[in-house]
Amino acid sequence: MGSSRRPITKLSLYLHAMKTSFAICVILGVCFGIPMFILVPREGWVFAFLITLGFMIATIIFCAPLPLQGLSWIKKQENFFHFRFCEEMERDQIHQLPHSSGNWFLVAKKFKILALRRDFIVGLENYKEHYDYGTLKAEIIIVGADGKKRKMRSPDARIISELQQWFDLSTENR
């Protein structure tokens, strides 16, 4: 009997990358909501609720476009190789994140989506690490099969390091 778990889709990648935004919304709701309900008289609770809800919605609207670069990379790969992402995930039975196999490298966290098909990557260049406000961040240039170079910045240097290891290992196995 087959697995009842659903394969990864672009929407599930997007929602996974947006988890941080949803957590920020909850924190904003608590930080703004509780003091407002304590300080505002009972008649103003509806107004306090609307202000709190407004801050939460503004956070989601502000953060919503952040993972779109990763989704556009998926679309470019789909167009270049003439495949559908959801069908590839179903065929390879990819059900969870992060994922790395001979064909795919998938990570979605901290507003970033990195979904790369092995055939699409020709090379990796200029790996750089730097500290930004005490956090180790990294960037790398990904050379695609279409000949274009794309800079990938990651808020977590481990993601880029894992990408480089995956690329080196899959290159050796070819």
- pLDDT at position 1 is 40
- pLDDT at position 85 is 93
Q: Are residues 128 and 149 in the same domain?
A: yes
**Cα dihedral angle (79, 164, 16, 73), rounded to 10 degrees?**
-20
Asked if the model's pLDDT at residue 2 lies above 50, the reply is no
Q: Are residues 85 and 55 in the same domain?
A: no
Query: For 144-170, what is the mean pLDDT?
Result: 84
Q: Three-class SS of residue 147? A: coil
Give me the CATH number covering residue 130: 2.30.29
Q: Is residue 157 part of a domain?
A: yes
What percent of the chain has a predicted confidence (pLDDT) above 90?
Answer: 16
Q: Is residue 10 part of a domain?
A: no
Neighbouring-strand partners of residue 150: 142
Q: Is residue 6 part of a domain?
A: no
Asked if the model's pLDDT at residue 59 lies above 80, the reply is yes
Does residue 98 have a cis bond before it (omega within 30 degrees)?
yes
Q: Are residues 122 and 77 in the same domain?
A: yes
| pLDDT, tens digit (0-9, with 9 covering 90-100), for 38-58 | 777 777 778 878 888 888 888
Q: Three-class SS of residue 126? A: strand
Q: Are residues 59 and 120 in the same domain?
A: no
Query: For 75-87, what is the mean pLDDT?
Result: 92
- pLDDT at position 34 is 80
Q: Indicate whether this model's pTM tops 0.85.
A: no
- pLDDT at position 75 is 93
Q: Is residue 130 part of a domain?
A: yes
Asked if the model's pLDDT at residue 19 lies above 90, the reply is no
Q: Are residues 150 and 101 in the same domain?
A: yes
| Residue span of the structural domain in which 51 resides | 19-63
Query: For 104-112, what is the mean pLDDT?
Result: 87
Number of H helices and E strands in the chain, helices first, is 6, 6
Q: Are residues 129 and 49 in the same domain?
A: no
Q: Are residues 164 and 95 in the same domain?
A: yes
